[in-house]
Amino acid sequence: MHKEDDKNMKKRCIVLLSGGLDSTTCLAVAKENGYECYTLAVDYGQRHRSELVAAQRVSEYFNANQHKVIKIDLRAIGGSALTADIDVPDHEMVETNDIPITYVPARNTMFLSIALGYAETVGANDMFIGVNAVDYSGYPDCRPEFIASFEKMANLATKAQIEGQKFSIHTPLIDLTKSEIIQLGHKVGVDYAITVSCYNANSQGKACGECDSCYYRKLGFEQAQVKDPTHYQ
């Protein structure tokens, strides 16, 4: 390859894409920053299956280079209302000081590990994940300390690193409120009507309007003073 061709090549990245508000905004930010995006959704046995359809839709909307769905069976482990026969509580029932039952044990650790392998395969040095440490439900794997630790591990554990590449994990939403995320999304061309965030969405992707995820999404649109395009049951 000529040096001129190398200069003209876009940077490649992996974007973890759930089809929800945050990950969709994250993909839009990556595209805005000139990345060639490879999107990755994980079918982990989640009860809100319509998010996988939304992820495909969002990937196509932003003309991602490639979209993959990787299947792992976290229902075999359980321990979460999203992967076991446990009711998803309404937001009012969630204790604010507790990690909610919708937390999936080690989910982001597994997701980032799969994304890291995918990155090595396609020659990407960057990964984007839409974790947020402000308006979130208290999940420990959304904290900056976790992301920094995983990035350090990624740069010790791969063949690509031994050959001189450096992996970076980008979390452009981590310090933003939900309303700020929505405002950012509007600036970079997100159509939130095609996203699904609800933990209890039906097969058509319509939101319950009562779960923790719906609560923060609704509040975000209200505070951003943007019309909520969510399809509710």
φ/ψ (deg, to 5) at 145: -60, -40
pLDDT of residue 91: 65
In a domain, 172, yes or no: yes
Q: Token digits for 174?
A: 């981590």
Residues 186-226 have pLDDT tens digits of: 999 999 999 999 999 998 999 999 988 899 999 999 999 99
Q: What is the pTM of this model?
A: 0.90
Residues 45-66 have pLDDT tens digits of: 988 889 999 999 999 999 999 9
- Where residue 95 sits, what CATH number does that domain have? 3.40.50.620
In a domain, 3, yes or no: no
Cα–Cα distances in angstroms (integers) from residue 107 to residues 35, 60, 89, 203, in the given order:
25, 25, 19, 23
In a domain, 219, yes or no: yes
Which residues form the domain of 89?
A: 10-224
Residues 62-104 have pLDDT tens digits of: 999 999 999 999 989 888 888 788 887 766 555 555 787 888 8
How many domains, the chain? 1
In a domain, 218, yes or no: yes
φ/ψ (deg, to 5) at 128: -115, 135
In a domain, 5, yes or no: no
In a domain, 229, yes or no: no
What does the mean pLDDT of the chain come to? Answer: 89
In a domain, 1, yes or no: no
In a domain, 191, yes or no: yes
